[in-house]
A and B are shown apart, each in its own frame.
Chain A
Amino acid sequence: MQILLDLFYVLIFPGFLFCAVVGLLLAGIDRKIVARMQKRMGPPIVQPFYDFFKLLGKETIIPHAASRGVFIAAPLLGLVSLVVMALFIPVFGFTAFSGVADLIVILYLLTIPAAAIIVGGAASGSPYAGVGISREMVAIVAYELPLIIVLLTVGKKAALDGGITFSFTEIQAYQAEFGSMLSHWSMIPAAVAMLLVIPSEVGSHPFDVAEAETEICEGPLVEYSGSLLGIYKLNHAIKMFILTALFAALFLGGAGSGILIVDVLLLLLICTVVTILSMSLPHAISARLKVEKMFKFYWTLVTVLAVISLVLVWMGF
């Protein structure tokens, strides 16, 4: 029985199927909102589903210069780590596997999809991919620092004994008792920093230096085609969901209503709002940043925002 339940968790809810459907929907909403902001009609909201299924039906070419095994394994590795993450991120009171993982594990798992892009690009043997992966590495270094500081801040705030906690359970318990993190004013700079980290972590438009299709032909993905490319697109969509759900768990968590369906719908609502705020808005109003500009942006403005919160929390506000 336990095995069946675990399988259900991994494959359907909150695992693979749920993530994939919600992620692709979020990606569709993002594209629609951006189009509306640019006074266009925009594609239908289910467009990412069409893209994904179309890519499944295309021929998959593996170039001669590529190292075959790694080329195929890299996107799958990214997908698996994203699904694992979905099992650990709490939906208000509910977690599929609670108590076995905390923020540190999430931090490690978050780098795997980015690493999968780097590894896959390196294995494809294209010079454009070479440029792309070096940019992706710069991007990782850029957003990882503020992200870690934000997580530290949340951990410090949620620990009641004066130390730092990295357990999701404790963070949710804290928010259930004292209101969500966002209702404490000292956490607001950290929340803004997190909102700015999300688009570059996902690789959405103003910060997609690694996949700049107009400059370096989609960077690491340049040689991918067919279903392997489809899996990368799926990873991108799931990443949108995972990061917005992480934001919800860290800053807008709490006990929830106790009824799972209501909680899930609430989570979806939060995810949509966060997607629009953190991804669609910058996408519509800004052009792609240069690599150095992006690096500077993250290590100055975003890091400072996160540090302000950390200092405030440390002083007991």
Chain B
Amino acid sequence: MFKKIIDNSMAKSPWIYHINTGSCNGCDIELVSVITPRYDAERMGFKLTGTPRHADIVVVSGPVTSQSKERLVRTLAQVPEPRVIVSLGSCPRPCNVFKGSYSVEGPLDKFCEVDVSVAGCTPKPEAIIDGLALAAQILKEKRRQK
């Protein structure tokens, strides 16, 4: 029973940590708009945390640049299991308009496995909330399989 309570709580209290790996700031602003009173993701328990140690969901935005690559890998290593990685916007996976640049090392899949990918440049807040809710479910599944 205790295990079940923990499993259910996983989906209901996902804390988000946001890493910017060289995004144009559009996606970052849109992610913040998700926790404003209009969209209020906190009603589903989402909360932005300041440190990767507290995170359940890691949101990555931006094509991975050579400057941010090392930081990304080190930050992801600090997140406790179970964790879910969400790629935000069109940048992290196909590299968007930055593809082929000398300073872009993406896509993100090279460095970690991506669980949820929210497409769009920028994605709408509704789409972000949808992706995060899906991520919360995956978090619960991951916990269950352990």
Q: Report A's interface with B, CB cutoff 8 A.
A: 31, 35, 38-44, 47, 49-54, 56-61, 128, 213-214, 216-218, 221-226, 229
Contact = CB atoms under 8 A, between A and B. Distances in A.
A226 B51 contact: no
Given A40-B43, A41-B43, A43-B43, A57 B50 contact: no
Contacts of A40: 37, 40, 42-43
29 contacts: A35-B43, A42-B40, A42-B42, A42-B43, A43-B43, A44-B43, A47-B12, A47-B13, A50-B9, A51-B45, A53-B5, A53-B6, A54-B6, A57-B7, A58-B56, A59-B82, A60-B80, A61-B78, A128-B51, A213-B49, A214-B50, A217-B50, A218-B51, A218-B54, A221-B54, A222-B51, A222-B53, A224-B53, A225-B80
Interface of B: 5-10, 12-13, 37, 40, 42-45, 49-51, 53-54, 56, 78, 80-82, 143
A213 B10 contact: no
A217 B51 contact: yes
Given A54-B56, A223-B53, A39 B42 contact: no
B78 to A, nearest CB: 7
A11 B59 CA distance: 40
B109 to A, nearest CB: 24
A229 B8 CA distance: 19
A213 B37 contact: no
B42 A54 contact: no
B70 to A, nearest CB: 18
A205 B50 CA distance: 15
A57 B56 CA distance: 11
A229 to B, nearest CB: 6
Contacts of A214: 50
A50 B50 contact: no
B43 A58 contact: no
Contacts of A44: 43
Contact of A57 (B9, B37, B45, B78): B9
Contact of B45 (A50, A60, A224): A50
Contacts of B56: 54, 58
Contacts, number: 86
Contacts of A218: 49-51, 54
Contacts of B82: 58-59
A54 B13 contact: yes
Given A57-B6, A59-B81, A217-B50, A50 B42 contact: no
A229 B54 CA distance: 8
Contacts of B40: 35, 40-42
Contacts of A224: 53-54
Contacts of A213: 49-51
A222 B20 CA distance: 19
Contacts of B8: 50
B54 A225 contact: yes
Residue of B8, B10, B12, B51 with highest tally of chain A CB at under 10 A: B51
Nearest to A213: B50
A38 B12 CA distance: 22
B50 A53 contact: no
A280 B43 CA distance: 17
B43 A61 contact: no
Given A50-B45, A61-B78, A225 B13 contact: no
B42 A43 contact: yes
B37 A39 contact: yes
Nearest to B6: A57
Contacts of B80: 58-61, 225-226
Contacts of A43: 42-45
A43 B143 CA distance: 22
Given A40-B40, A40-B42, A43-B45, A54 B12 contact: yes
Nearest to A34: B42
Contacts of A221: 51, 54
Residue of B6, B7, B49, B81 with highest tally of chain A CB at under 10 A: B6
